[in-house]
Amino acid sequence: MSDYKTYLCEDNLIGGVWTGADDGARIAVTNPATGDVIGHIPKCGRVETDRAIAAAAKAFDSFGRSDLSQRVKLLQDLHDALMDNQEALAQLLTAEQGKPLFESRGEIAIGAAYIRWFAEEIRRAKGEIVPAPGSDRRLFVTRHPVGVVAAITPWNFPSSMLARKLGPALAAGCTVVAKPATNTPYSGLAWGKLAEEVGYPAGVLNIVTGGARDIGGAIMDSPLVRKVTFTGSTEVGRTLIRQSADTVKKVSMELGGNAPFIVFDDADIDAAIEGAMIAKYRNMGQTCVCTNRFYVQAGVHDAFVEKLRAATADLKVGEGIEPGTMQGPLIDDAAVAKVEDLIADAVGKGGQVVEGGGRHALGGTYFQPTVITGATADMAFATEEIFGPLSAVFKFETEEEAISAANATEFGLAAYAYTKDLARIFRLNEGLQYGLIGINAGLITTVEAPFGGLKQSGMGKEGGTQGLDDYLESKYMCVAGL
Ligand code: NAP
C-alpha cells in the first residue's frame, strides 16, 4: 500500500513537466491539526499560468479530437488509480485539510465515483437530427468540447470538487488548467500525478498553485480559456463573473450557501437528529450544503433542542487521523474568529448558548461543537454563511412562516425538511428557492443527481446528466441542396 508521501507533489504540472515557480518562490502548507509544515508548494503567477494555458491549448488540438473509447478508458483507469490509492490519498487530504479520516476516505470514493459517472455519461452525449422545413435539407446538431477549461477549487473538498470538474472536462475532450486552494493544494496536485500514471498526454491536465489574483487574472484575461468552472465563495464568484465578460467565457459557479433545516411537528425527531448531525457537523460545519439555520416548529422545539444538544456534546473532537474522531480542527484562525464573532453577535441579541460556545481545550483551531437557541432574524448567521460547528436554532409556528424565513437569504443552494405530510412535501418543493432539497434526509449528494444552487449560490450543475452540458458546445449544421 502506498504511503501518503507518494502523492505529496511539491511541484506544479505544466505541459507534462513538474516544475516550480520561475523565481523559485514557495509557500508553506501546514497541517491544521498540528500546525506542522507539511511541505512547500510553488508560488506561481501570471507567467507560469500563461504557460500552462498555452500547453492546454496545444494539447487540445489532439485531445479534443481523440477517440471516445480512449477517453473512456483513461477515465476508467483514473477511477481505478484513485481507488487503489484511496487510503494514501485520504491520509494526504486529512493532513492538509483536517477532516476526520473516515470523511476523507468518503471524499476520495465520491471523487472516483464522479470520474466513473462521466466515463459512462459521455457515451450517451448524443446530438440531434432535427426535422427540416424543406425536403432538400437535413439539419444536424452536433456536440463538441468547449476547449481549454480553467478549474478553480476551494479548500473544504480539495479532491472531490476537482473530480466534479475533471470528470466532465476530460470526458468531453477538454484540456484543463486547475488551480487548487492554497490551504489544501496537495489533493489537487495528486490528480496530476494520477493522470500522468494512467497515461494522459502532456498538457491535458495542468495544475498551478500560488497567488490567487495573479493566476486568476491570467486565466480570466486569456482568450484561449473558453470556460471557467469555479467552486468557492460568492464574493470571489462575483469577481470572476465580472472578469469573464471581456473574453466572453462560459462560466459555471458553485458558490456559498445558507441552508435552512426545517423540522415540522409531525417529523420523526430521531431521524431528524440523525440528519441534522450530518447536515450540520460534516467537515466541522465547513461545507457549502451545511445547515446554517435550524427552524423547529413550536410543538417539537424543546424535544429537538435537547436531543441536538446531547448529540452535539457527544461529538469527539480531535486529530483527524485518530480513530473515533468526529470533528477535526477548523481550517485556520480566521475561521475560528468568524464563528466566535457570530456567537458573540447572537448572544448580544438574546441567543442562549446551550452547548459548547468557544475554543476547544485542545487549542489551535479546534472549536467546541456549539448549539445556540433563541435565534432571530436580526442575528448575523441568519444571512451569513457560518462555515463552522455552530447550530443556530430558530422557533416557528406555521409552515408559511418557515418557508418565508428559509427563503430570506441571497443564497439558494441546499435546504432540508423533516415531515411526514406528503402534500406539504410538494408545497416545500415548490416553495423553497433552493437547487438541492433534502426531505427526511441530511445528506443527498450523489453522482447521479445534478448539484448546483439557485440565486447567488451559483449557476450550472455538476453531476447528473446535466453535469456534462457546460463542457460541450452544440453546433447546428444545415446541409442544403439535397
Ligand atoms: P474562496 O476564498 O472563494 O476560494 C476558492 C478558490 O478561489 C481558491 O482556490 C482561492 O485561492 C481562489 N481565489 C480566491 N480569490 C481569487 C481571485 N480573485 N481570482 C481567482 N481565484 C481566486 O473560497 P474558500 O474559502 O476556499 O471556500 C469556501 C467557500 O466555497 C464557501 O463559501 C463555500 O460555501 C463554497 N463552496 C461551494 C460549493 C458548492 O458546490 N456550491 C462547494 C464547496 C465550497 P486561494 O486559496 O489561493 O485563496
Q: Does 288 qualify as catalytic in the annotation?
A: yes
Ligand 1 atom at minimal distance to the Cα of residue 157: 43
Q: Which residues contact residue 265 at a Cβ distance below 8 angstroms, ignoring those fewer than 6 apart?
A: 297, 298, 299, 300
Q: Is the CB of 49 under 6 A from ligand 1?
A: no
- Strand spans (E) along 232-383: 250-254, 259-263, 291-297, 352-355, 370-373
* pLDDT recorded at residue 5: 87
* pLDDT recorded at residue 3: 77
What are the cell numbers at 299? 410543538
The conformation of residue 201, written as its DSSP 8-state character, comes to: P
Q: Is the CB of 349 under 6 A from ligand 1?
A: no
> From CA 232, how far away is CA 457, in angstroms rounded?
10
Spans of the chain below 50 pLDDT: 1
Contact of 390 with 343, CB cutoff 8 Å: yes
Q: Whose CA is closest to atom 42 on ligand 1?
A: 288
> From CA 411, how far away is CA 443, in angstroms rounded?
19
| Residue 242 burial (C-beta neighbours within 10 Å; 0-12, 13-18, 19+) | exposed
The conformation of residue 132, written as its DSSP 8-state character, comes to: P
| Overall size of the chain counted in residues | 482
| Amino acid letter, residue 276 | A
Q: Whose CA is closest to atom 20 on ligand 1?
A: 216
Question: Which secondary structure element, helix H or strand E, spans residue 218, and what is its range?
Answer: helix 212-221
* pLDDT recorded at residue 2: 61
> From CA 344, how far away is CA 347, in angstroms rounded?
5
Kindly give the distance from the C-alpha atom of residue 182 to the centroid of ligand 1, in angstroms, as a whole number: 10
Ligand 1 atom at minimal distance to the Cα of residue 453: 41
Q: Is the CB of 181 under 6 A from ligand 1?
A: yes
* pLDDT recorded at residue 45: 98
Question: Max CA-CA distance within the chain?
Answer: 80
| Amino acid letter, residue 264 | F
Strands across the sheet containing 390-396: 352-355, 370-373, 390-396, 291-297, 259-263, 414-418, 436-439
Structure pTM?
Answer: 0.98
Q: Does 254 qualify as catalytic in the annotation?
A: yes
Q: Is the CB of 243 under 6 A from ligand 1?
A: no
Q: Is the CB of 330 under 6 A from ligand 1?
A: no
Ligand 1 atom at minimal distance to the Cα of residue 451: 40
Contact of 226 with 250, CB cutoff 8 Å: yes
